[in-house]
Amino acid sequence: MALSAALRVPLPRLILLGPSASILGAASRRRAAAVPAAALRFLSASSPRSASFSSRSARPLRSRRRDRDNDGRAAAAVGAGGGGGGEGDGGGLVVKERIVPVELHKEATEAYMAYAMSVLLGRALPDVRDGLKPVHRRILYAMHEMGLVSRRPFRKCARVVGEVLGKFHPHGDTAVYDSLVRMAQDFSMRYPLVQGHGNFGSIDADPPAAMRYTECRLDSLAEAVFLNDLELNTVDFVPNFDNSQKEPSLLPARVPSLLLNGSSGIAVGMATNIPPHNLGELVDALSVIIQNPEATLQELLECMPGPDFPTGGTILGNQGILEAYKSGRGRIVVRGKTDIETIDLKSKREAIIIKEALPNFCISTQIPYQANKATLVEKIAELVEEKVLEGISDIRDESDRTGMRVVIELKRSADPAIVLNNLYRHTALQSSFSCNMVAILDGQPKLMGLKEILQAFLDFRCSVIERRARFKLSQALERKHIVEGIVVGLDNLDAVIQIIRETSNHAAATEALVKEFDLSEKQAEALLDITLRKLTSLERKKFVDEANTLSEEISKLNELLSSKKLIFELIQQEAADLKNKFSTPRRSLIDDSVNCEVDDIDIIPNEEMLLILSEKGYVKRMNPNTFNLQNRGTIGKSVGKMRMNDSTSDFIVCQTHDHVLYFSDKGIVYSARAYKIPECTRTATGTPLIQLLSLSDGERITSIIPVSEFGEDQYLVMLTVNGYIKKVPVNAFSSIRSSGIISIQLVPGDELKWVRRCGNDDLVALASQKGKVIVNSCDKIRPLGRNTRGAGAMKLKDGDKMAAMDIIPATVHKMPGRYSSRIRDLSPPWLLFIAENGLGKRVPLNAFRQSKFNLVGLVGYKLPADCRLAAVFVAGLSLGDDGESDEQVVLVSQSGTVNRIKVKDISIQSRHARGVILMRLEHAGKIQSASLISAAAAEVAED
C-alpha cells in the first residue's frame, strides 16, 4: 500500500506559499502526520493573533472537500464559532480548509530533483556555450554595465560585489567575492578575466584582502572574448531574480571558454573538473573542426596536444589526455619542474631547485596545478623528520615577487635522482588532475569529449553570428530608409521649405511631406529634424555616400546570412584575431617519454644492447655477447625461437637510455625508451609490440631509430617502397604521444620502409631490388614537415622497388667531383651489397659518382633474374690498427638463422661482379635481413 500523507492547510496560506509549498510540503506533512487532526488548524478562533491574521489577509473562499468524517468535524468546529463567531457576529472569519493527499516517496523525489536541478543549472556547472557559471557571467556583465573596462580606473571590489548581489545574484557576498578573486589570479586561471589591484591571495593559500581594500576592472581579453557583441541582440536577456531588470542568459563568447580557462564545481550528485588550455592551440583546433567536421581526435591533437596549466609543470604521457578528450574522463599526471645545482664545489654538494621566474615579474610556478607550495614544503620537512625521505639536509623557501624558488639541499653522499624520485612518489611535486568534463548542454548536465564540446560551441557561435547579422541588417535597412527620405527631401529642398512654412504645426507638416513626396512617417520625421547647417551640398553628398555604404553593408549581410561557409570563415577569422592579440607561449610541457609512474632511469646502466624485431611484430632486447663471432661461409647460430611463419625484420645496436623511434609501414611514428623492452635470452620469442605501442590493426613496424639527443642540425631521411624520399628534422619527433604521430603522408599502396639519421653534409645511398644505385648529398633534399609526402628518389622500372638506403657520413667520404673509370681506389668506405641468395661483396664508394635523385641510377650489383638485392650498407666507418674494417655484419635468414661475420673477410669487387658466398642457404631459405655493427659493440670470443 502506497504511503501517503494528508496536509490540511488554509487555502489562503497555500496561495501565499506558491511554488515553495512543494519544497516545504514534505516537512509539513511529516509534522501533520504526528499530531491530531484538530491540531492542524492553523487559524483558530481561540487565538487572538490568528484571528487578527485572518481578518487581515484571508477572505471567505469555497472549495471542494472530501466527504470524510474528520473533514466534516473540522468544518463543523470552525463553522460553529467556538468562541470565535462566524461571518455574522464579526468575531472571526471562517477559513475553508483543503486536504491534498500525496504519496510520500513521490513528493520527496520531486522536491529533491527540483532542488538538485536548481543547484546544477543555477550555481555549480558551467554552460558549454560560453563556458561560464552564472556567478562569473553576472560578475562580468555587472562590471560591463558599470563601465569598468580595461581603459578605465580601478574600482573597489565591494562596489562590484554589491552591484552583483543587488541586481543579479541573490546569494552570499562571500561566494561572489571569492569568484571575483579567482578570476583575477594568474595561478588559478590560464587567462585571467579581471585585473586586480591589491592583495588577491597567493599560491601558498594566503587569503585575499577584504573586498573593501581591493580594486578591480575588466581585462582586455574578457572584453574581446565575452562582451564585444552583447548589445547587438546576440543572446537572450531574461528577468533577474526580482523581475526588476534584465540579465543575459549567456555571453557571446568568441572562443570555447569552457576549455580556455577550464572550470571546477561540485553540485548535487555530480561534479565537473575541466583543465585550462592554450589560446593559440585552442583556436587552431577550432579551425580544424571548422574546416573538417569529420576530423579525427588525432588530427585535433596535432594542433592541441593537451592542457596548458597556468602553473606550468610537466604533463607525463598523453594516455590520460586521450581518454579525457575521447570520453570526458581521464587522469592527467603533472610533475613539477626541477633543476639540479651544485652549491659547494669543494665538497660537491648538490641541491634540488624548484624555480621559475617569468618576464615582467609575473608570479608563476612550476609545480602541479592547484598544488599549495607552502603545504608542499611542510610535507617535505615532515617526511624528512619521519625518515621517509633520505639524503636531504635542509629545505628553504626563497620565493619572492620575481618568482618561485625552493631549495632542497642534499647530503654529500645522496644521489639527486633517487631523492627526486622519492619526492615525486611521496609529495605533491607529482600529482594528478582528474578530468571530468561535465557541462550544461540544452538545459541538462552532460559528460562530453573534446569534439562534442567544440561542436556545441560552434553551433552556438553560428547562432550568435546570425543574430548579430540580422540585428545589423535591420539597423542598416532602417537607417537606409531614413537616409533615402532625407536625400529626397534635400533634392526638393525648396518645396520642402515651402510646405513647412505653409503648415501650421508639426503633425500637419509631417502629413504634407508624406503626401507630397511619398515618404513614410519616419522619413518625414527625420527630414523635419534636420538642422539648417545640414542643408548644404556637402552634407547632401555625405547622405548619398552613407546610402551607398549602407547598400553595400546590406548586401554583405544578406550574403553572410545565406551562406554557412561565410559564417564559418567569419568565426575562424575572429578567433584568429584573438589568437594574434592575446596568445602566449605554452607553459606546461608534455613529456611522453616519461611514464606516469616514477622510474629510476638514472640508476639504470647506460649499456649497449641489441634490439631484434620480427616481421610479425615481436621485439626483444639482448646482450651483444649473446652471439659469438662466426667465419664467412658458415651456417651460423639461431637468433632464437621464432613463431610459426615469422622471421627477423631488423637488428640494431643502441643504448638502454636511448629514445627508440618506431616507424610503421603506415607512416606513423611511436616512441619508447630502450630499457622499456624486456631483456630476454637468445631462445626467447620476444614481446609483442602491441603491448608496448598503440598499434592499429594490420600496422607493422618497419624501421627502428635510436636517438640519444634531439639535435637541431640532425635529420631523419625516410624512403618508401615506391621510391618517395623526404627529410625531416629530428627535433620534430622530440614529443611523441603514446598513440603515435604522423611522420609521412603515403599514397595508396605505398609503405614507409627505411628511416635513417643524417646531416646536411652526409651522403645518402639508395639501392633498388634490381641493383640500381643512386648516391647524392643529403642537402639536396629539402627539409619538410611531418605531414608531407616527399619527392621522387629513383625512377623504378616495372616490377622494381626500393631495396635499401644508408647514410655515408661527411667525415669519411671522399667522392671526387668527376668520376674516372681508370682510377682504381680500394680505400674505405665501401658499399656492402648483400643479395637474397647469400652472396655479397664490397664495392668502393669511389666507383660511383654523385647523381641526382629521381633518375634510373647506376648499376651497383648485376643480379640473376630470380634474385633481388636484400640490403646495402656503408662499411669501413670503423677501422682497426691494420687499416681494415673491424665491423661485423649480422645476416638473418627467413628461418631465423643468424650468421655474424667480419666485414674484412668479404672481398672487394667491381660494380658488375657476382660476389662471394656469405651464408649458405640450403635449408634456411633466403636472406631476410642484415645489420652492420661495430666490433666494439661487444666482447667477442672465437667459437
In 556-655, DSSP assigns E strands to 589-591, 608-614, 618-622, 637-638, 648-655
- Distances in Å between the Cα of 49 and the Cα atoms of 8, 14, 39, 74, 366 are 20, 19, 16, 20, 67
Strand partners, 8: 99
In the annotation, is 670 catalytic? no
Helices (H), 614-737: none
891 — phi, psi (to 5°)?
A: -105, 135
Q: At what angle do helices 450-491 and 279-291 cross, to 10 degrees?
A: 80
Catalytic-labelled residue, pool 115, 213, 715, 861: 213
> At 518, is the secondary structure helix, strand, or coil?
coil
DSSP secondary structure letter of residue 783: B
Judge contact between 311 and 365, C-beta under 8 A: yes
Adjacent-strand bridge partners of 445: 440
Contact predicate 887/903, CB 8 Å: yes
Question: In terms of C-beta density within 10 A (0-12 exposed, 13-18 middle, 19 or more buried), how is residue 683 classed?
Answer: exposed
**Rounded CA gap, 287 and 48, in Å?**
74
Which is nearest to 266 in space by CA: 423, 396, 50, 445? 445
Report how far residue 801's alpha carbon sits from residue 815's, in angstroms, rounded to the nearest whole number. 26
**C-alpha cell at position 466:** 546570425
259 touches 277 (CB < 8 A) = yes
Where are the alpha helices (H) located in 353-449, listed in sequence order?
A: 373-385, 416-426
- SS3 at position 707: strand
Taking alpha carbons only, the member of 406, 391, 311 closest to residue 353 is 406
Q: How far apart are CA 625 and CA 607, in angstroms?
A: 12
Report strand pairing: 404-410 vs 349-356. Answer: antiparallel
For helices 134-146 and 173-182, the axis angle rounded to 10 degrees is 80
H helices within 413-536, ranges in order?
416-426, 450-491, 493-502, 506-517, 521-528
d(CA 847, CA 841): 13
Q: CA-CA distance, 50 to 48, in Å (whole number)?
A: 5
- Report the distance separating Cα 217 and Cα 212, nearest Å: 14
CA dihedral over 669, 672, 674, 679, signed as positive or negative: negative
Q: Burial, 347: exposed, middle or buried (Cβ in 10 Å; 0-12, 13-18, 19+)? A: exposed
Can you count the helices (H) and strands (E) in the chain?
21, 43
| E strand or H helix at 446 | strand 444-447
Please count the other Cβ atoms lying within 10 Å of the Cβ belonging to residue 57: 12
Cβ(428)–Cβ(375) below 8 Å: yes
DSSP states along 267-292: -SS-EEEE----HHHHHHHHHHHHH-
Are 365 and 204 within 8 A, CB to CB? no
C-alpha to C-alpha distance for 805 and 762, rounded to whole angstroms: 13
Residue 797 DSSP one-character state? P
Find out whether 218 and 195 touch, Cβ atoms under 8 Å.
yes
In 3D, which of 727, 597, 609, 593 has the Cα closest to residue 673? Answer: 593
Q: In angstroms, rounded to a whole number, what is the distance separating the alpha carbons of residues 852 and 794?
A: 9
What residues are labeled active site? 213
